[in-house]
Amino acid sequence: MSNQQYSELAARAIEHVDRERLIKLVMDLVDIPSPTGEEKDMANAVYAELQAAGFDATLQPIGDDRYNAIGRLQGRGGGKSLMFNGHLDTSFGPEQAHRGIGYECKATLIDDEWIYGMGSFNMKSAMGTYIVASEAIQKAGITLAGDIVIAGVAGEIEKSPVNEYEGRKYQGYGVGTKYAITHGAVADFCILGEPTNMMLIPRHCGTTWIKITVPGRLIHTAWSNVDTNAINKSRMVLDAIHEWIPDYCRRNSVGDFQPRVNVSAIEGGWPWRGARTPDNCCIYMDVRTLPDSLPVEAYNEVRDVIRRVVGEHPELEGTRADIFVSAPGTSIADDHELIRTITEAHTQQLGKAPETGIETWYSDAAHMNRYGIPTVNYGSAGRIRSGGGGFSTHQGEAVHIGDMLDIIKVYIQTMITLCGVVE
């Protein structure tokens, strides 16, 4: 079948895209609170939607009363399969609701053009576009040769247990996707509708979380010494880290792109016991690595920094760095069939080729690619109502309805082209 024929079939399906159905579906999903660890209700809702949309659907228990919702729309056979993956957990929890409508677990429709609410941006709107696109193909009477898989997964948000912070609400970083793809949710290709503002992201950074422990001396204020106080000593370590960061980012640049390093937390002492010095002070870091680098490379660099500063300041003896999260980045070739197909569909449907790029954030694409399922990030959310792309901490989460409708067109043509049709 020619590209023109694929385009004509896509046009037929696009006529069946139901705008009001999309709006209601996305708003209904946003209304369901689903912070990391509490995805059960969201999984049940997606499971029911997949069943209603004609998918063979299942709930996958991943433990601790958490579930993935997996659906497979069986093709007639002889074609390739395409998965759409989206996480069920939200970046924020109900405790942020006081910040405004973009953080509330209640969808709000603005000017019949924008949907605000927790998860609308990341990434319940994507789940809505997947389902509505597949429904339109079926309504148009188009039978695909290959399967369409929709995977709603728990525990994607960048969180990790550490120290006393244990339990399901800290279990993120891909626990749902890793379970899904080892328990039947497989396909030839995968699209993650993360909020890329319709940029095509074939590569993103990895991440290495490091805990640096600076030892101190637990003692009463009456006998304390500034030089042995772990918090005071940690300043020398922080100075060395902040001296290293710009050099690390510069050396690991790709064109204009540079990874980033974040000193994310400092922990030491007991605020309820001010008459004691801390027995240690811990510094927590997130070091982003280039897509083709390994976490151990970043870890070794940080350890070298620690060794050097300890050598210069003997009072820091015993300071150590430990890695507690490691997640390598990911990339697929620019000329990959998946990239070429999305680019062609985007160009035909929206009149110009998509922008492509590399991102600092992390996604489940890394896990998918490492299990041999070529995956890209490509989603409609990521535009700010007041202008520009990205995310506004002031406005909170929102998605533009027109952008969702645009990407549904691209998804439809991509499905038809990659999966093939039964003539």
Domain boundary assignment for the chain: 3-204+330-419, 206-327
Rounded average pLDDT over 98-104: 84
Distance separating alpha carbons of residues 249 and 298, to the nearest angstrom? 11
pLDDT at residue 99 in the model? 77
pLDDT at residue 96 in the model? 66
Q: Which pair of structure tokens corresponds to residue 107?
A: 């969808």
Sign of the Cα pseudo-torsion (180, 379, 161, 93, in order): negative
Residue type for 362, please? Y
Task: CATH number for 206-327: choose from 3.40.50.150, 3.40.50.2000, 3.30.70.360, 3.90.550.10.
Answer: 3.30.70.360
Total-model pTM = 0.94
Distance separating alpha carbons of residues 158 and 170, to the nearest angstrom? 9
- Other beta carbons within 10 angstroms of residue 45's beta carbon come to 21
pLDDT in tens, 26-63: 999 999 999 999 999 999 999 999 999 999 999 999 99
The secondary structure element, H or E, covering residue 87 is strand 82-87
B/e letters for 261-270, b = 16+ CB within 10 Å, e = fewer, are beeeeeebbe
Q: Which pLDDT band holds residue 206 (cuts at 50, 70, 90)?
A: very high
pLDDT in tens, 394-405: 889 999 999 999
Distance separating alpha carbons of residues 237 and 268, to the nearest angstrom? 14
Q: Which pLDDT band holds residue 423 (cuts at 50, 70, 90)?
A: confident
Where does 3-204+330-419 sit in CATH, by number?
3.40.630.10
pLDDT at residue 394 in the model? 87
- What percentage of the chain carries pLDDT values higher than 90? 92
pLDDT at residue 92 in the model? 85
Rounded average pLDDT over 371-380: 98
Contacts of 111 (CB under 8 A, 6+ apart): none
Q: 55 and 48 in contact (C-beta within 8 Å)?
A: no
pLDDT at residue 95 in the model? 65
Query: CA angle at residue 196 from 192 to 199, to 5 degrees?
Result: 100
Q: In Å, how far are 206, 209, 361, 366, 382 from 195, measured between CA atoms?
A: 18, 23, 11, 16, 5
Q: 398 and 115 in contact (C-beta within 8 Å)?
A: yes
Q: Which pLDDT band holds residue 7 (cuts at 50, 70, 90)?
A: confident
Q: At which residue do the structure tokens 């728990």 appear?
A: 154
Does the pLDDT of residue 97 top 70, yes or no?
A: no
Does the pLDDT of residue 416 top 70, yes or no?
A: yes
Residue type for 323, please? I
